[in-house]
Amino acid sequence: MTATTTVLISDRPIDPDRLAADFRKQTAGSGAIAAFVGQTRAEAGAVKALALEHYAGFTEDAIAAIVDEAVSRWPLHAVSIAHRIGRMAPGDPIVFVAAAADHRRAAFEAVDFLMDYLKSEAPFWKQEVSDAGSRWIEPTDRDRQDIRRWRSAPHSGEQ
Amino acid sequence: MTTRILFFGQLRETAGRAETAVDLPPSVATRSALIDWLAKDDPALHAALNQDSVRLCIDKKVVLAEATFSAPNEIAFLPPFSGG
């Protein structure tokens, strides 16, 4: 089965509602769609902005490889990823990930898998700007645990 | 032949620039030789590039620390990733 895949890296604001509507239009034959939206956290007002950078050409290829991996693990009809780069304010959407399949489990798990990979294995660099200055964010122990789940359970959706 | 050297994230800040263009001598063919050569007058940059968590990317492919290269078009230093 060939899955339709879309990857967008944008230095302009992304619109998750429009992305979700477009995704639904192209997956009318799918029984299940799971979609995730990540937004910039304000961290109780401490964070003023988030700045993301990527490596043009390399980041796109790395995400395409992650999408291929998801498509090989689950019977997906379509995957859509949109990721912001540049400077964002609290509340701004950073990432949109959607997957469509015949049944919900594959769609849920594929989105979970894709988000875990985007958090710590996709070539983005994220800087948090607060009143106290700015700091570069690195993957947390929790992020590393999250991604290890997929290494130890390659086909959990079929168990 | 000119090679573009790219620095991302906190390495860009440490280097004070996003990229530089250099003519690599033929003797600079490994990660450690490259870091010694690039940061010979900048101990802070040397230490930053030398971290185990920093990945080296030659012509848009991540390579192992012991890999050798010759006349690449582009070399990038990649600190730990953080997306989403």
Q: Percent of chain A scored above 70 by pLDDT?
A: 95
How large is the angle between the packed helices A104-120 and A58-73, nearest 10 degrees?
Answer: 150
| A47-79 pLDDT, tens digit each | 899 999 999 999 999 999 999 999 999 999 999
Residue A50: inside a domain? yes
The distance of B39 to chain A (nearest Cα, Å) reads: 22
Residue A49: inside a domain? yes
pLDDT of residue A154: 56
Which strand (E) or helix (H) includes residue B78? strand B74-78
The distance of A104 to chain B (nearest Cα, Å) reads: 23
| Range B1-22 average pLDDT | 96
ipTM score for this prediction: 0.94
Q: How far apart are CA A119 and CA A102, in angstroms?
A: 26
Q: How many helices, marked H, and strands, marked E, lie in chain B?
A: 3, 5
* Cβ-Cβ contacts under 8 Å, B52 against chain A: none
Could you tell me how many CB contacts below 8 A there are between chain A and chain B? Answer: 64
Number of domains within chain A: 1
Residue A122: inside a domain? yes
Residue A89: inside a domain? yes
Q: How far apart are CA A63 and CA A95, in angstroms?
A: 13
| B25-72 pLDDT, tens digit each | 999 999 999 999 999 999 999 999 999 999 999 999 999 989 999 989
Note whether A64 contacts B: Cβ–Cβ < 8 A. Answer: no
Q: What is the largest CA-CA distance in chain B?
A: 40
Q: Are A155 and B28 in contact (CB under 8 A)?
A: no
Residue with tokens 């998750």: A16
A118/B84 touch (CB, cutoff 8 Å), yes or no: yes
Note whether A111 contacts B: Cβ–Cβ < 8 A. Answer: no
| A73-106 pLDDT, tens digit each | 999 999 999 999 999 999 999 999 999 999 999 9
Ordered by where they begin, the domains of chain B are 2-78 (3.10.20.30)
Which of A101, A100, A84 has its CA nearest to residue A92? A84
Which of A141, A86, A108, A116 has its CA nearest to residue B84? A116
The distance of B27 to chain A (nearest Cα, Å) reads: 27
Q: Binning pLDDT at 50, 70 and 90, where does residue A159 land?
A: very low
| DSSP structure string for A77-119 | EEEEEEEE-EEE-TT-EEEEEEEEESSHHHHHHHHHHHHHHHH
A125/B6 touch (CB, cutoff 8 Å), yes or no: no
- Here the CATH number for the domain that contains residue A107 is 3.90.1170.40
Q: Binning pLDDT at 50, 70 and 90, where does residue A1 land?
A: low
Residue A158: inside a domain? no
* Cβ-Cβ contacts under 8 Å, A95 against chain B: 83-84
Smallest Cβ–Cβ distance between B10 and the set A52, A122, A136 belongs to A136
| Range B5-14 average pLDDT | 97
Q: Residue A90 sits in which domain range?
A: 4-153
Residue A159: inside a domain? no
Residue B81, SS3 per DSSP: coil
Q: Is the pLDDT of residue A158 over 50?
A: no
